[in-house]
Chain A
Amino acid sequence: MAELTQNEKKLLAALEPLKTAGPDTLSQVLGTREDAVIQHAYLLADRGLAEVMRSTEVSYRLTGEGIEYGEKGLPERQLYQSFGDSIPLADLSKNPLSRIGIGQMRRKGWVTIKDGIVTKTGTAAESDEEHALCDPSSGGRGVKDLVKRGLLVEEETVSIRIRITPEGTAMVRAGLDLTEETGTLTRDQIISGAWKDLTLRRYDVEKLPKRVYPGKIHPYQRLIDHMRHVLLEMGFTEIQGSIVQSAFWNFDALFQPQDHPAREMQDTFYLSEKIPVPGGYERVRDMHLFGGETTSTGWGGAWSQEKAEQCVLRTHTTSLSIQHLACNPEPPVKAFCISRVYRREAIDPTHLPEFEQLEGIVMDEGVSFRHLLGYLKEFYGRMGFDDVRFRPAYFPYTEPSVEPEVYVDGLGWVEMGGAGIFREEVTAPWGIHHPVLAWGLGVSRMAMLRLGLKDLRLLYRSDIEWIRETPTWIPEHRGRR
């Protein structure tokens, strides 16, 4: 059992000789307030060292009116004594006490009233009420009547008695150390050396402390920063760009045909603004129409400059990647981006209109499909997924395409993003002569796995309680080789 506080010890010591006492006595002995004595008594009671007994007493108090009648007599008595054997009612009524007194005299049978004459019946013995008026504590019917007449007030008093238990007595007999204890040290005590002679109050370490919540970076942001670090460590340059993109860079430059379903109003957020096509756009146009100077047949059909100049909220980070490559066509290029993208999707537990997407690209002389698979293994390995497998996939701007799957305990094989080599139709217009390996994944989905969330919306509709209670995650650093 934890140690008694100083106050508890003092109370116990004061109580022992008295055995039982009220808080008033104890507060005088200890020189503290009664409510403090009671508080400490309860603490002792929790430990079984004392007993706190409450009793309720009813007492009576005369009201002001009651006191007056106590001296002069009840109105009916005074009235009774004011006349002889009989008196006309009219005359008696002139007496100010008659209003109450006449009724009471009749009720008690002290008088009769007939033909306007009030006549005494005989003796008027002391009534219960008069008895109670002299001694309210006597109880009985009289007290109740006086209370009804507003001459007496009933009061409840709680009285507390504190009694020491045999365990408490034993503890006192064993000896209590009653030296004065210090709480918070003052500056003077510290610098003067007075602290050497002080006893410092001890605190109970088993009592839980107050909860303090530090400021912190959002757990999802931590995951994103971890992914950024993984890619920076692998030698990638971070790119960043505008939320608003022209359809040219978001779709056409990525060889997505102008009649592709993803370009429709249902799937993409369009804006009313327009951005003119950039210089060199003809090469992209020709790629769509007949494959330019590559071995491609192109899509055929028509190509509208107007459609390419429409503005959208970017639907993938790939629109930033291709612009980066267009500005950096010489090898090597290793770049990545983790940014918000926008899709016109109804909100439900696994779909949102905006979410984070990661994209990584490697462009270099001699890179190939097997290197792409190697980057995927390396990246997912560093993200904590040691088991990765690959399946054929399809994306409009990559060929070959691949879908990585990672093994998650409890879920089995989970599809995690997509990858491929940019089609030559995408890279040739910008003078990029070497293959571009590219991979991307929805970061929000990975966060749901890592943070154990079932609902994507929790990442963005912050519950302060969840942020406070989610501990700071430090990623495992996996050693390789």
Chain B
Amino acid sequence: MAIITLPYRYLESLVGTDKKTIISRLPMIGSDIERIEEDHADVEFFPDRPDLFSVEGVARAMRGFLGIETGLPDYKVSPPETTFSIDPGLAAIRPYLGSAVIRDLHFDEESITSLMGLQEALHWAVGRGRSKVAIGVHDMDKVKGPFHYIAAPRDRSFIPLDYDKEMTMEEILAEHPKGKAYAHIVQDFARFPLIVDDEDRVLSFPPIINGELTRVTEETRNILLDTTGTDPKAVKIAVAIICTALAENGARIEGVTIEGSTWPDLGPTERNVSASECNRLLGLTLPPTGIAGLLEKMRFSAVAGEGDTIRVGVPCYRADIMHDWDIFEDAAIAYGYENFDARISSTFAIGKENPVQAVMGAIRELVSGLGYLEVLPFTLTNERTLYTRMRRPMQECALKILHPISEDHTLVRTSILPLLLETLQANRHRELPQRIFAVGDVIEGMHTIQKLACVSTHPGADFSEAYATADALCRELSLSYKAVGSHDGAFIEGRRGDIVCKEKISGVFGEIHPAVLNAFELEHPVAAVELDLTAVPGYPATPGSP
């Protein structure tokens, strides 16, 4: 999400009404008001609306939404007087280029801040951190066209922005802050992208940094815009958003010829949509002219033609219109979400509990009936807790997370018992007896299954208690089993048993080994049971598999 600063004075002058009205209606266009200050508001807009990342863009949208100026904004582009060539050597490096000339600029502090902010927000939202598109603005009066977008040798040097001496492009990548941040985008190429003018003066090293020569200040009257990137759509939309934002504040857009094509193209994209499909999707019954009126408020051009069709013109700065339904959402926003007659559908279906949840629910009742408190430990754990402290060997099937957030969360649990002992450890100063249980997901290979574990600790906790508990559980769940001596290292030898159902070990019970108790800082004996729920009658045949 991008947070945009909207200074009230500038906003009011662009919209044409008072700030109170604007701010109160702003959330209903799709935004979150972060902060209200004395002279400005900080507002967050969604990443699919980069056209709103500037005061000018917001003002344009609000004029439509408030009914002050509706329909497609018209942006004139004067005939081109500049050309831009593209070096074929860039095809494998950073092939796409967009450009425009913007004249008659009168910057003040607010509008220049708005432009810089817009560039950065576009880099984030559309450029994916400058790789898909990077934007450069240049004081055109400092250089002379035609301009050339070339693949240059890595040791070519120029004075980068904010510096006073020449550096080679290699050096810039190594030493300049922007160089270090974005080096990964270009550093493996044999040659680097560079924009120069007709006298071979450097305008910029995209996507890294502009030259100090063409720095834009409040005095700048004419700008050359360049957008370069690996995604043609991103390059095009960046040009459209910047040009139209500057045009909103009174600047004149002039064309640039790039390899024979005229840039920018600020005309609308045509789409024909169905009024009935719009009504169906939204649950409305508007006539086509009604829908067209709503779309005009959202700055589309919309003409209800013959029958069901509406001819829609999508403004050049809208990055998010991919499908007809994207247009219908705008109609819904213009209609006002608060105006919909919200009612559930008459869809009839009979509710059904998931069988795994049914088994888990029955077990919760059962174990709490034995006097145990339920706890809900994490499923993410680590080797030390799952194996080392438990005197259990590492399992190959344990799923390891590639980039864990901490050493404590590197594995998904295969057993719940260690997590319960951790819980007892955290509660060792609480009153005894303590009886706790947990039932939930564990991983077995790639599969997700469920287990139950319960532990009881007090001075008299022993093997008999563990066995009696395990037996009671199996009996209540109609689980016929055989108890055989266990080899589970977490338990005391001679005081542990495996629960075997149909030749498979489905659980274990016994008295926890004192070395394990020491490892968890526990001071009293612990009687424990763990049971694999897949053995329980009622558990569905196919476990949850990916």
On whether the beta carbons of A221 and B436 are closer than 8 Å, the reply is: no
Contact among B233, B329, B338, B370 for A389, CB-based, below 8 A: B338
On whether the beta carbons of A346 and B405 are closer than 8 Å, the reply is: yes
A284 nearest CB across to chain B (Å)? 15
Please tell me if A184 contacts chain B, counting CB pairs below 8 Å.
no
On whether the beta carbons of A353 and B405 are closer than 8 Å, the reply is: yes
A418 nearest CB across to chain B (Å)? 11
A237 to B348, CA, bound (A): 12
Query: Which of B428-463 touch A at CB < 8 Å?
Result: 430, 434-436, 441, 443, 446-448
On whether the beta carbons of B405 and A467 are closer than 8 Å, the reply is: no
On whether the beta carbons of B343 and A232 are closer than 8 Å, the reply is: no
Please tell me if A364 contacts chain B, counting CB pairs below 8 Å.
yes
B443 surroundings in chain A (CB, below 8 A) = 243-244
Closest to A238 in B: B354
A298 surroundings in chain B (CB, below 8 A) = 322
Please tell me if A294 contacts chain B, counting CB pairs below 8 Å.
yes
A371 to B351, CA, bound (A): 19
A369-B332, A399-B323, A423-B325 are known contacts. Are A467 and B340 too (CB-CB below 8 A)? no
A371 to B27, CA, bound (A): 22
B132 surroundings in chain A (CB, below 8 A) = 259
On whether the beta carbons of A463 and B30 are closer than 8 Å, the reply is: no
B372 surroundings in chain A (CB, below 8 A) = 215
Q: Which of A60-68, A120-128, A160-168, A264-272 contacts B (4 or more CB under 8 A)?
A: A264-272
Query: Which of A291-316 touch B at CB < 8 Å?
Result: 291, 294-301, 311, 313
On whether the beta carbons of B338 and A369 are closer than 8 Å, the reply is: no
Please tell me if A233 contacts chain B, counting CB pairs below 8 Å.
yes
A363 to B515, CA, bound (A): 55
On whether the beta carbons of A240 and B354 are closer than 8 Å, the reply is: yes
On whether the beta carbons of A340 and B379 are closer than 8 Å, the reply is: yes
Please tell me if A198 contacts chain B, counting CB pairs below 8 Å.
no
On whether the beta carbons of A462 and B341 are closer than 8 Å, the reply is: no
A270 to B373, CA, bound (A): 34
A311 to B546, CA, bound (A): 10
Please tell me if B402 contacts chain A, counting CB pairs below 8 Å.
yes
On whether the beta carbons of B281 and A421 are closer than 8 Å, the reply is: yes
On whether the beta carbons of B430 and A400 are closer than 8 Å, the reply is: no
A12 to B102, CA, bound (A): 108
B527 nearest CB across to chain A (Å)? 15
A242-B448, A392-B29, A462-B375 are known contacts. Are A237 and B401 too (CB-CB below 8 A)? no
On whether the beta carbons of A237 and B352 are closer than 8 Å, the reply is: yes
A49 surroundings in chain B (CB, below 8 A) = none
Closest to B343 in A: A374
A231 surroundings in chain B (CB, below 8 A) = 351
A286 surroundings in chain B (CB, below 8 A) = none
B406 surroundings in chain A (CB, below 8 A) = 347
Please tell me if B100 contacts chain A, counting CB pairs below 8 Å.
no
B412 surroundings in chain A (CB, below 8 A) = 243, 313
A347 to B404, CA, bound (A): 12
A269 to B544, CA, bound (A): 19
A232 surroundings in chain B (CB, below 8 A) = 351-353
B17 surroundings in chain A (CB, below 8 A) = none
A220-B376, A235-B350 are known contacts. Are A271 and B399 too (CB-CB below 8 A)? yes
B380 surroundings in chain A (CB, below 8 A) = 342, 353-354
A239 surroundings in chain B (CB, below 8 A) = 354
Please tell me if A378 contacts chain B, counting CB pairs below 8 Å.
yes
A245 surroundings in chain B (CB, below 8 A) = 546
Please tell me if B326 contacts chain A, counting CB pairs below 8 Å.
yes
B373 surroundings in chain A (CB, below 8 A) = 213, 215-216, 218, 464, 467-468
A 70-97 to B, binary, CB cutoff 8 A, 1 in contact else 0: 0000000000000000000000000000
A294-B323, A390-B338 are known contacts. Are A244 and B376 too (CB-CB below 8 A)? no
Which one of B48, B323, B400, B443 has the greatest number of beta carbons of chain A within 10 Å? B323
Closest to A401 in B: B329
Query: Which of B60-114 touch A at CB < 8 Å?
Result: none
On whether the beta carbons of A462 and B377 are closer than 8 Å, the reply is: yes
B175 nearest CB across to chain A (Å)? 26
Contact among B283, B322, B447 for A371, CB-based, below 8 A: B283
Please tell me if B289 contacts chain A, counting CB pairs below 8 Å.
no
On whether the beta carbons of B371 and A244 are closer than 8 Å, the reply is: no
On whether the beta carbons of A313 and B401 are closer than 8 Å, the reply is: yes
A235-B349, A242-B545 are known contacts. Are A464 and B342 too (CB-CB below 8 A)? no
Please tell me if B357 contacts chain A, counting CB pairs below 8 Å.
yes
A462 surroundings in chain B (CB, below 8 A) = 375-377, 423, 426-427, 436
Residue count of chain A within 8 Å CB distance of chain B: 97
A413 to B427, CA, bound (A): 37
Residue count of chain B within 8 Å CB distance of chain A: 88
B539 nearest CB across to chain A (Å)? 12
Contact among A215, A369, A373 for B371, CB-based, below 8 A: A215
Please tell me if B307 contacts chain A, counting CB pairs below 8 Å.
no
A238 surroundings in chain B (CB, below 8 A) = 351-354, 357
Please tell me if B344 contacts chain A, counting CB pairs below 8 Å.
yes
Please tell me if A150 contacts chain B, counting CB pairs below 8 Å.
no
A457 to B324, CA, bound (A): 43
On whether the beta carbons of B368 and A394 are closer than 8 Å, the reply is: no
B163 surroundings in chain A (CB, below 8 A) = none
B11 nearest CB across to chain A (Å)? 20
A424 to B325, CA, bound (A): 8
Query: Which of A372-412 touch B at CB < 8 Å?
Result: 373-378, 389-394, 399-402
A425 to B326, CA, bound (A): 12
A108 nearest CB across to chain B (Å)? 63
On whether the beta carbons of B353 and A217 are closer than 8 Å, the reply is: no
B 533-546 to A, binary, CB cutoff 8 A, 1 in contact else 0: 00000000000111
Please tell me if B15 contacts chain A, counting CB pairs below 8 Å.
no
Please tell me if B284 contacts chain A, counting CB pairs below 8 Å.
yes
B377 surroundings in chain A (CB, below 8 A) = 460-462
On whether the beta carbons of B349 and A332 are closer than 8 Å, the reply is: yes
A298 to B401, CA, bound (A): 32
Contact among A221, A340, A394, A399 for B374, CB-based, below 8 A: A221
On whether the beta carbons of A371 and B344 are closer than 8 Å, the reply is: yes
A377 to B343, CA, bound (A): 8
Closest to B545 in A: A242
Query: Which of A425-443 touch B at CB < 8 Å?
Result: 425, 435
Please tell me if B403 contacts chain A, counting CB pairs below 8 Å.
yes
Please tell me if A214 contacts chain B, counting CB pairs below 8 Å.
yes
On whether the beta carbons of A216 and B374 are closer than 8 Å, the reply is: yes
Contact among B231, B374, B447 for A300, CB-based, below 8 A: B231
A244 nearest CB across to chain B (Å)? 5
A213 to B446, CA, bound (A): 39
B268 surroundings in chain A (CB, below 8 A) = none
A279 to B445, CA, bound (A): 23
On whether the beta carbons of B322 and A296 are closer than 8 Å, the reply is: yes
Please tell me if B345 contacts chain A, counting CB pairs below 8 Å.
yes
Query: Which of A224-239 touch B at CB < 8 Å?
Result: 225, 228, 231-239
B426 surroundings in chain A (CB, below 8 A) = 461-463
A71 to B367, CA, bound (A): 78
On whether the beta carbons of B30 and A242 are closer than 8 Å, the reply is: no
B409 surroundings in chain A (CB, below 8 A) = 353
Please tell me if B24 contacts chain A, counting CB pairs below 8 Å.
no
On whether the beta carbons of A344 and B281 are closer than 8 Å, the reply is: no
B341 surroundings in chain A (CB, below 8 A) = 370
A175 nearest CB across to chain B (Å)? 45
A261 to B356, CA, bound (A): 34
On whether the beta carbons of B357 and A228 are closer than 8 Å, the reply is: yes
User: What are 10 pairs between A and B in contact, CB < 8 Å?
Assistant: A213-B373, A221-B364, A235-B349, A259-B128, A332-B349, A354-B379, A362-B347, A390-B338, A393-B46, A400-B282
